[in-house]
């Protein structure tokens, strides 16, 4: 499909490029033009056509086009557990409430619950998710049917998945739908034996592949690892070669200077989840230390059981707000850096280098932000206003892979929304 988006303010997220008035042309799943609209002749030459026949032209009315948000850590199927076990410490919440229910969940339930999460992602302008959960094949099917771009990561631990299963999924899910891919990973150091972790490290070396995991989320996690190995989780995992080919950690709250130095040396990503860390009282990640060390930071919502909201606007505000509070410095973690975390850095962490910015040849994962609402007026500094004042109500359009899936409050998907809600409620009734 050929789509022309015109009369738009455009934030490409390219380095040192300001917002400008212009238009974006989409052909099938790719952007073929992003500019001021005065230099389009070259497009016809490159495409080998005399003119463009548009299937759809959208007057953006001066609203903002920008890359979709990349939710770099989530557990989509946990929509089942939204508001199911709140106001508890992490260890009690996880071991006494979450794990027992998850042990009963099946792939078809998770398939249905993942579709519910996708609806929320679309309303939040999220065009890609980095998902870790229990049944990757049914999850991939749900994402594919809903049109959501997703990178899944392995969740090996003592009671779910195995290194052999992860290898099989790595080969299978990286050779199917163009919207779906898979990375090596495990749940956390504290839910895996050394033997299990060594097998994951061996896979990383076999495929020269990055590895992701929950990392240093709580003080007790770090203390437990120190008792087992006399090393922090970061230091221990590095000692067994886990990150020799890159990857990163989710949360990264309780990190030492040496831990951060390892992340820089190995080229790892720190994926911060400020909403979840706040609600579970896990602590405040050292974002300014990561930035000063040159460690790229991405943002994730975590799952809807621990957050409970799959909203990147809230994560953007919290990551800078909490950093300012932690450092007692109102200048800490500039809003423009936060936007980079939520778009470009997330894409790179997920290996989606064609979905990071709006430019010719990039994937058409685009959102439109409604500037004609009170919280976005007056128009002083749009980019900073997105972080400090923006909200889900400003998401006017979400396009993934060249397809508009959400526009003006309406889901443009084949699935019946009421059926998705009904199914989710039927599933929760089984576990009450």
The 10s digit of each residue's pLDDT in 282-317 is 999 999 999 999 999 999 999 999 999 999 999 999
Q: Compute the distance between CA of residue 47 and CA of residue 43 in angstroms, rounded to an integer.
A: 6
pLDDT range class, residue 48, cuts 50, 70, 90 = confident
- Give residues with Cβ within 8 angstroms of 100, minimum separation 6: none
% pLDDT > 90, the chain: 90
pLDDT range class, residue 431, cuts 50, 70, 90 = confident
Decide whether 2-67+361-411 matches 69-349 in CATH topology: no
CB of 164 within 8 A of CB of 203?
Answer: no
The dihedral through the CA atoms of 239, 319, 405, 59 has a sign that is: negative
Distances from the Cα of 204 to the Cα of 193, 207, 242, 271, angstroms: 17, 5, 7, 20
pLDDT over 90 at 89, yes or no:
no
pLDDT range class, residue 65, cuts 50, 70, 90 = very high
pLDDT range class, residue 63, cuts 50, 70, 90 = very high
The dihedral through the CA atoms of 115, 79, 173, 161 has a sign that is: negative
pLDDT over 90 at 112, yes or no:
yes
Q: Compute the distance between CA of residue 356 and CA of residue 216 in angstroms, rounded to an integer.
A: 27
pLDDT over 90 at 319, yes or no:
yes
Give burial (CB, 10 Å; 0-12/13-18/19+) of 4: middle
* Res 200: pLDDT: 98
pLDDT (mean) for 115-128? 98
Nearest of 128, 132, 120, 175 to residue 150 by alpha carbon = 128
pLDDT, tens digit (0-9, with 9 covering 90-100), for 179-222:
999 999 999 999 999 999 999 999 999 999 999 999 999 999 99
* Res 36: pLDDT: 97
Q: Which CATH class is domain 2-67+361-411?
A: mainly beta
* Res 370: pLDDT: 98
pLDDT, tens digit (0-9, with 9 covering 90-100), for 396-429:
999 999 999 999 999 999 999 999 999 999 998 8
141: how many CB neighbours lie within 10 A of its CB? 18
CB of 8 within 8 A of CB of 382?
Answer: no
* Res 175: pLDDT: 95
**Lowest mean per-residue pLDDT among 11-15, 45-49, 127-131:** 45-49
pLDDT range class, residue 46, cuts 50, 70, 90 = confident
Average pLDDT along the chain: 96
pLDDT over 90 at 85, yes or no:
no
**DSSP character at residue 381:** -
Say which residue, 44 or 327, is predicted with more confidence: 327
Q: What is the CA 375 to chain-centroid distance, rounded?
A: 25
pLDDT over 90 at 262, yes or no:
yes
**DSSP character at residue 295:** -
* Res 42: pLDDT: 87
* Res 380: pLDDT: 94
Say which residue, 243 or 87, is predicted with more confidence: 243
- 69-349: CATH architecture: Alpha-Beta Barrel (3.20)
pLDDT (mean) for 259-272? 98
End-to-end CA distance of the chain: 45
CB of 366 within 8 A of CB of 356?
Answer: no
pLDDT (mean) for 252-257? 98
* Res 95: pLDDT: 86
Buried b (16+ CB within 10 A) or exposed e, 392-401: bebbbbbbbb
pLDDT over 80 at 328, yes or no:
yes
Nearest of 179, 74, 86, 178 to residue 124 by alpha carbon = 74
Tell me the three state secondary structure of residue 65.
Answer: strand
Nearest of 339, 216, 214, 189 to residue 286 by alpha carbon = 216
Q: Compute the distance between CA of residue 151 and CA of residue 209 in angstroms, rounded to an integer.
A: 14
* Res 94: pLDDT: 80
pLDDT range class, residue 335, cuts 50, 70, 90 = very high
pLDDT over 90 at 278, yes or no:
yes
Whole-prediction pTM: 0.97
Nearest of 346, 328, 329 to residue 337 by alpha carbon = 346
pLDDT over 80 at 432, yes or no:
no
The structural domains of the chain, with segments of one domain joined by +, span 2-67+361-411, 69-349
CB of 359 within 8 A of CB of 67?
Answer: no
Q: Compute the distance between CA of residue 303 and CA of residue 322 in angstroms, rounded to an integer.
A: 20
Give burial (CB, 10 Å; 0-12/13-18/19+) of 229: middle
């Amino acid at each position: 499909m050929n789509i022309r988006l015109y009369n738009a303010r455009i934030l490409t997220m390219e380095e040192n490029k300001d917002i400008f008035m212009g238009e974006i042309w989409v052909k099938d799943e790719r952007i073929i033009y992003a500019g001021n609209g005065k230099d389009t002749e070259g497009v016809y030459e490159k495409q080998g056509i005399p003119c463009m026949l548009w299937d759809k032209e959208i007057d953006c009315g001066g609203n903002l086009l920008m890359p979709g948000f990349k939710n770099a850590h989530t557990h989509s199927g946990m929509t089942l557990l939204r508001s199911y076990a709140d106001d508890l410490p992490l260890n009690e919440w996880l071991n006494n409430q979450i794990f027992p229910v998850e042990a009963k969940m099946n792939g078809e339930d998770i398939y249905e619950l993942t579709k519910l999460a996708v609806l929320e992602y679309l309303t939040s302008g999220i065009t890609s998710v980095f998902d870790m959960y229990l049944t990757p094949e049914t999850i991939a099917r749900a994402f594919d049917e809903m049109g959501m771009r997703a990178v899944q990561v392995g969740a090996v631990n003592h009671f779910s998945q195995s290194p052999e299963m992860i290898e099989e999924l790595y080969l299978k899910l990286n050779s199917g739908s163009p919207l779906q891919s898979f990375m090596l990973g495990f749940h956390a150091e504290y839910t895996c034996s050394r033997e299990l972790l060594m097998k994951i490290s061996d896979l990383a070396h076999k495929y020269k592949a990055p590895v992701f995991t929950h990392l240093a989320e709580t003080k007790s996690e770090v203390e437990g690892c120190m008792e087992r190995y006399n090393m922090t989780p970061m230091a221990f995992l590095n000692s067994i070669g886990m990150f020799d080919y890159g990857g990163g950690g989710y949360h990264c709250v309780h990190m030492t200077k040496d831990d951060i130095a390892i992340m820089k040396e190995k080229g790892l990503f720190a994926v911060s989840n400020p909403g979840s860390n706040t609600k579970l009282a896990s602590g405040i990640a050292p974002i300014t230390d990561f930035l000063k060390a040159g460690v790229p930071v991405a943002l994730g919502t975590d799952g809807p059981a621990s957050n409970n909201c799959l909203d990147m606007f809230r994560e953007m505000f919290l990551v800078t707000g909490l950093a300012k509070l932690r450092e007692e410095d109102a200048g800490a973690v500039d809003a423009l850096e936060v936007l980079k975390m939520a778009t470009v850095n997330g894409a790179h962490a997920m290996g989606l280098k064609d979905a990071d910015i709006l430019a010719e040849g990039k994937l058409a994962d685009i959102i439109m932000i409604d500037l004609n609402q009170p919280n976005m007026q007056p128009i002083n500094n749009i980019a900073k206003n997105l972080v400090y004042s923006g909200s889900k109500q400003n998401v006017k359009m979400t396009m993934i892979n060249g397809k508009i899936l959400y526009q003006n409050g309406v889901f443009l998907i084949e699935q019946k929304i009421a059926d998705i809600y009904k199914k989710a409620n039927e599933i929760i009734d089984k576990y009450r």
